[in-house]
Amino acid sequence: MPLFTWIGKDKVVGHDKEVPFRLLRKNKSLSLGEHSENLIVEGDNLEALKALLPFYYGKVKCIYIDPPYNTGNEKWVYNDRVNSGHIREWLGKVVGPEGEDLTRHDKWLCMMYPRLKLLHQLLRDDGVIFISIDDNEHCNLKMIMDDIFGSENFVANIVWENKEGGGKSDSNFFRIKHEYILVYAKEIKNSRIFGLPVEDEDRYKLADKYVSTRGKYQLIKLDSASLGYVKSLDYPIKAPDGKLIYPNKDSKKISRWRWGKEKLIWGTKNDFVVIKQDKNNEWAVYTKQYLNCDNEGNLIDRLIQPIGVISKYSTTQSNRLLKDIFGEAVFNYSKPIELIEYLIELTCDKNSLILDSFAGSGTTAHAVMELNKEDGGDRKFILVEMEKKIAREITQERVRRVAKKLGKGDFEYAELGVPLFKADGNINEKVSFEEMASYVYFTETLSHIDKRKIKGAFIGEHSGTEYYLLFKQKDDNILNRTALKGMKKDGEEKVVYADKCLLSEEILNDYNITFKQIPYQVRVY
């Protein structure tokens, strides 16, 4: 594959590993309900995604993001270019002096690359990501997605007709009324795009004794002149009165049946074949096409593959909806809720976790809540919004109002707290035992800790290894004989994190303990 590069790439390719791990602090006054599994995070989405890793690594079924299109338009409520003060400051720190020479496309690529790498880690192995984009960065996005996700995991480049009427005329050559949605899988062999219900279901009007299992059916003629001639499929079928029926009612014309003789015998025996007179009182042979059963007798959901062009759900609809919710126009170019619902239903079951790290007006959460209301599902959402004013006054406020209207829904509102590690490399004093346990367990196992199994210093077991953390009393987090009382000499491998160890090498070997000193051997993920 050709090498894709840009100014600053060498500084950001591994930057996801350098992002400091920050704690998430719940803001009760902005939360709705208690102990919700839905989450809205206020803060830089790069740091927020890193903070989510210990809890959601490999857990997200569907990601939808609507990143800046990099049009250069700074008049929108939601800044659409990467020249904002926050991004300029970040580029200065990460890329260095050469960041001053970056084009807007270089800046956009530098901004997106580490965020996409973290999103990749949060996806389940059967997860799918949808990314809205337009012509400004479409080509560049495709290249970095191939780089991070692998070109073999490319699923589709959906064209979405986002404008009603004739489209916008700010192009010199064509009126533009579409955008794109790039679709990638974490592992394409594990992923599935669900089909859509047949739109002409009313064709299936007839019913027989199998209606409760096979569903209703329609009759389709067994003969076909449009298919290539096959001699073995050109044979007579006996009518109830003994008359022989030929394909297309003419034994001299070159034609054929769709089924061979053996399949016809099977179909007749299993009530898939109907022989009756047509409106001209001539015998005709039909097969039953059931809604919920194929012509092999297998029960199915009759679905059609989604098309790579979405010609409905305009931004005009979404603008009207936001105005209905807030009573005024508060956000430009929000995506239609129906579009996000459609994408979620293509990939998710009723219990999936959906993430949007460019949350904006909160459409993704709204879509999740509406779907749950419609089908009784228990889908969960995580939103991340960088701009404080938008996060508080629009994102969470919309979700709050929608929950109230639906009579169902809750969320925890969190802000980015202090870094786990201080500048001198020590653990921040504000870090709690549970927060430290979650982080340590994740860095050791790449798994989410089950807090219900925490007992004393024991924080969990994974792949035959037990993990312990002594981190409750300052100056008393010592691996000594007292700490051993909670451990068994059972041959199980044990990893123990503590400030210091007072046990001999012989005792550590007897208990099969690997000692790791805090903070020096706490892995910086």
What is the residue extent of each domain of the chain? 9-195+306-417, 201-304, 433-517
The confidence score (pLDDT) of residue 75 equals 47
Q: Cα–Cα distance between 20 and 47 in angstroms, integer?
A: 7
Q: Which residues of 169-181 are buried (b: 16+ CB within 10 A; e: fewer)?
A: eeeeeeebbbbbb
What number is the average pLDDT over the span 467-481? 88
**Helix, strand or coil, per DSSP, at residue 421:** strand
CB 102 within 8 A of CB 91: yes
15 against 85, higher pLDDT: 15
User: Quick one: average pLDDT of 74-99?
Assistant: 62
Amino acid identity, residue 240? P
CA atoms of 154 and 312, how far apart (whole Å): 24
Does residue 79 register a pLDDT over 60? no
User: CB–CB of 435/445 below 8 Å?
Assistant: no
> Do 492 and 511 meet the contact criterion of CB atoms below 8 Å apart?
no
pLDDT at 59: 96
Rounded mean pLDDT of the chain? 89
**Nearest of 38, 128, 23 to residue 345 by alpha carbon:** 128
Mean pLDDT of the region 21-46: 94
Q: How far is it, in rounded angstroms, from Cα 440 to Cα 446? A: 10
pLDDT band per the 50, 70, 90 thresholds, residue 513: very high
pLDDT tens track for 214-251: 999 999 999 876 677 888 898 999 999 999 999 887 65
**Residue 83 has what pLDDT?**
60
Least confident stretch, 153-162, 226-235, 416-425, 501-510: 226-235
- Examine the pLDDT at 101 and tell me if it is beyond 70: no
* 8 Å CB contact between 146 and 154: yes
Q: Averaged over 58-67, what is the pLDDT?
A: 97
Q: What is the mean pLDDT of residues 237-266?
A: 87
CATH superfamily of 9-195+306-417: Vaccinia Virus protein VP39 (3.40.50.150)
For 96-118, give the secondary structure using H, E and C.
CHHHHHCCHHHHHHHHHHHHHHH
Residue at token pair 């997200």: 60
Nearest to 188 by CA among 278, 105, 128, 249: 128
Nearest CA to 158 out of 54, 311, 373 is that of 311
Does the pLDDT at position 7 exceed 60?
Answer: yes
Mean pLDDT of 75-90: 58
Residue 315 has what pLDDT?
81
